[in-house]
A and B are shown apart, each in its own frame.
Chain A
Amino acid sequence: DQQVKQNSPSLSVQEGRISILNCDYTNSMFDYFLWYKKYPAEGPTFLISISSIKDKNEDGRFTVFLNKSAKHLSLHIVPSQPGDSAVYFCAASAEDSNYQLIWGAGTKLIIKP
């Protein structure tokens, strides 16, 4: 029972173009969503988050969009840079369990020169 789904195992994008990573969820009780970035042999590092009261949050080249009616969120990276090549995890939490993150399986982003 996957409550958080990242349906694309991998994504390849040209350097300088926009990268769009998608995430779908099934639990309507989720009210906080996060994106983490992970390099090989390292732990995940927090990237950006969004509360369910918002539909957009922006931080530099990274923007997260939330569509609650569709239970869908996306991470936009623009422009994409070689250092963005990593695995990106989407995670969610519900108000009554706010340290138990539910994670997607990740999407491997490859930025081509």
Chain B
Amino acid sequence: NAGVMQNPRHLVRRRGQEARLRCSPMKGHSHVYWYRQLPEEGLKFMVYLQKENIIDESGMPKERFSAEFPKEGPSILRIQQVVRGDSAAYFCASSPSFARTYNEQFFGPGTRLTVL
């Protein structure tokens, strides 16, 4: 009965490289949400996906960032040409269906991205 899994837990990239963050939702969950937490700040919503669909990406920067949740496999948050300002903790949450109450969103342990 595994929870939400994220890997890697820590990722170090040099400026200009690509970062790929993976999120495997809980079994039976088909909705995934990505959040970013900058140092000394709260979490900020980035994107909401269902299998093969992006429902809302209004919180995601328009350039360099993309997300997908394929029919098979984990959800991927991809950051191209990383910059130092991308250094943050990235959290993924999942829910079995559209989470009308927030206790239905279960969070993973996060990926801490450090850009050198």
Contact = CB atoms under 8 A, between A and B. Distances in A.
Main secondary structure of the interface of A (DSSP, over half): loop
Given A43-B91, A44-B91, A44-B107, A103 B102 contact: no
B42 A99 contact: no
Interface stretch (B71-79, B80-88, B92-100): B92-100
Contact of B110 (A34, A43, A104): A43
Q: How large is the interface on A (under 10, 10 to 19, 20 to 34, 35 or more residues)?
A: 20 to 34
Contacts of A101: 43, 45, 102
Interface residues of B, number: 27
A93 B4 CA distance: 23
Given A4-B42, A89-B42, A99-B33, A49 B101 contact: yes
A75 B66 CA distance: 36
Contact of B40 (A45, A91, A105): A105
Interface of A: 4, 6, 9, 32, 34, 41-46, 49, 89, 91, 93, 98-106
